[in-house]
Each structure stands twice: as C-alpha cells, then as structure tokens.
Amino acid sequence: KQEVTQIPAALSVPEGENLVLNCSFTDSAIYNLQWFRQDPGKGLTSLLLIQSSQREQTSGRLNASLDKSSGRSTLYIAASQPGDSATYLCAANDYKLSFGAGTTVTVRA
C-alpha cells in the first residue's frame, strides 16, 4: 500500500522567504504526483502535476521536483507572500491517488 508522508506538518516563515515543502512516497511505481493547495473550509486546488517521466514542473513562483528512485518530491515557493498561507498536500498516483496529510504554511507579514 502506498504511504505518503509530508514533513514538516506546519511551517511559519516571514514574508519574502523561500518555502521548501517535502513529500515522500513508498512505492516508486507511480504515474504522476500532484501538488494541491487547500484554504480553510475550501476544496483542493491543483498547483502542479508532474508525470512520472518528468523531473520537474514550474508555474510562476512554484517549482516542483520529482525523484522517483528515492520516492521524493519537493515543492519550492519563491519569495513567499501572506497569500501563500494555506495547507499544501501532495498525492502520489499509482492508479489510485494516495494523499499526504499536508503541510500547513503560515507566511507572516
């Protein structure tokens, strides 16, 4: 069974600092890995999807890397802003998506 772990569970940084969020998964036979953002009381918003053949994906200030062999993905958010405060979840897709518990980020103004 795929196990997905996100460390740390919570993170607080001052505005302008770069964010590094980690995701690890136990079974490397995945089709893709997806990063989501969830605001309190809201649904999940897709941020980046990395296919198994890719090493990274970028969208604006966001960059996600994927290392299947080591079972790791990292989400980088450059120059964080208070509006980046949210919970970030990763999900590994090996036919069924398995989600991590998320990292709750607070960006202090």
Q: Which residues sit at the interface with another protein, rule CB under 8 A? A: 31-32, 34, 36, 42-46, 49, 51, 89, 91, 93, 95-97, 99-102
* Unique residue bearing structure tokens 């309190």: 40
Nearer to another protein, 19 or 90 (CB): 90
Nearer to another protein, 66 or 89 (CB): 89
Nearer to another protein, 13 or 28 (CB): 28
CB of 45 to another protein, least distance (A): 7
CB of 101 to another protein, least distance (A): 5
Which residues have a Cβ under 8 Å from the Cβ of 11 and sit 6 or more positions away?
19, 21, 103, 104, 105, 106
**C-alpha pair distances (Å), 27 with each of 8, 30, 56, 106:** 20, 7, 19, 30
* Unique residue bearing structure tokens 């089709």: 31
